[in-house]
Structure 1
Amino acid sequence: MNENLPLYDRILGDMRATSFLLVSLLLLFVNGKERQKSLKSLKTQLNQIKDDIELKLSRLKSLRNEIRTLNQELKLNNEKEMLRNVTISESKGFKKRIRNKINGIQKKLRRLEKSFRKHKKTVKDIKKHNGLVNTTPSIIQVFEAQKNRSRPGEHNSPCSTHNECKPGHCCHKKKDENKCVKHSFKIGEGCEDSCSCETHLHCFKPIKGNIKAYCKEARADDFMRGNYRNNQTSIFLD
């Protein structure tokens, strides 16, 4: 399952490199009105590439969530096998289904990787054709600030619900805007929702006793001892 992660990281790297070149070009256009007019069609093309990247980044996020779900399913199945709560035939069928899902995700990731590389080459060719100089430090600083604001799911990035934030981050309503806030609580630490726990941990509230919810790894018998707090469509009001 983890073999998908390097491919996912490579796609993000290609996307960020393409975005860097794209923002550099657009910032250079803004500095000269006459140049901006003469290259209007070129700017339109770059904007189309930018929109396409944003759409595919959304698909990439969806695939990341699928990988996370499959990891959880595999973990629960392994615990069931240890407790001998699953037959051999059931286990084989489950693993075959997971393998098919993994193969499907790998194909989608490779298509996205190919697409991002194509965009990266297109933007580089445009830059070379128009003889644009290397980006200045000020352009790099503007790009870095924009990248930190727009990277989906990161701390301080915009959100509407918890499921739009990375693992360990929750969506908080602060004044007139919603932002992802990093928590990353470890095993045993108190929580209100699974969004605040580290990757692969869940917010669990035991039924017996006056024990508050805490972050823990999922177990096959958890449903008999309590329940998970996993409301991905909600938001915290600060």
Structure 2
Amino acid sequence: MTVKQLSMPELVDACGELGVTNVGLWREPVQAHGLEATAKLVRDAGLTVTTLCRGGFLTAVDPGERAKALADNRRAVDEAAALGTEVLVLVSGGLPAGSKDLRGARERIADALGELGPYAESHGVRLAIEPLHPMFASDRCVVSTLAQALDLAERFPAHQVGVTVDTYHIWWDDTAPAQIARAGAGGRIHTFQLADWTTPLPEGVLNGRGQIGDGSIDMREWKGYVEAAGYTGAIEVELFNDGLWARDGREVLAETARRFVAHAM
């Protein structure tokens, strides 16, 4: 998604030129290129798909909408398995229209995980609940902190449900380092993502993630937390940024690789 202006073949080619061997994929560009074609493309290029994003949006009250969401998440699990990744990232969903019941929405997420966890396990896929910054709680994700994500995940086996640690969403939370340790102790850090926080935020807040090194987050500090918690997996950079998307994608990818070395290594 950091370089969504690149087609799937262009992305794979650019990764090869830079020596990038891991890539996190989103469902929409995978579906645009074709699931089987994408799986073959990355496999032939020697790329490892670290995660697939995203499943989730599990807070619906209406039975029909809930059934549709569960079916879509099962498809997402199938897609992750086809791509050879073990991790499906979940953005849980916001409040249903007209609702003010955060607690009820979170319980519906737990109910859905009870159905999806075993299905994911049977396909060799783990679910990774991603807490999003509280500014997204109403419309996108009622899970706002790592503590809330872990309270949900810990109802299920770690090989079924864990968490996503994303610097952009949790850097402000002074309890997050302890929660990272908690997640690590339980084997529940399923992926770790970097993005910086820059101000002022753009009008379209969703696309306000800053290039690493441009904002307020100490990437090495957060990398240290997850490493101390025992995480040894891939580190993703996931940027939603209109300015970056307007540039040449290969240049952005090369810049991102340089920034990762400069600010996270």
In the superposition, the TM-score normalised over structure 1's length comes to: 0.25
TM-score, length-scaled by structure 2: 0.23
The structure carrying a bigger strand percent of its residues is 2
Higher radius of gyration, 1 or 2: 1
Q: Which has the higher helix share?
A: 1
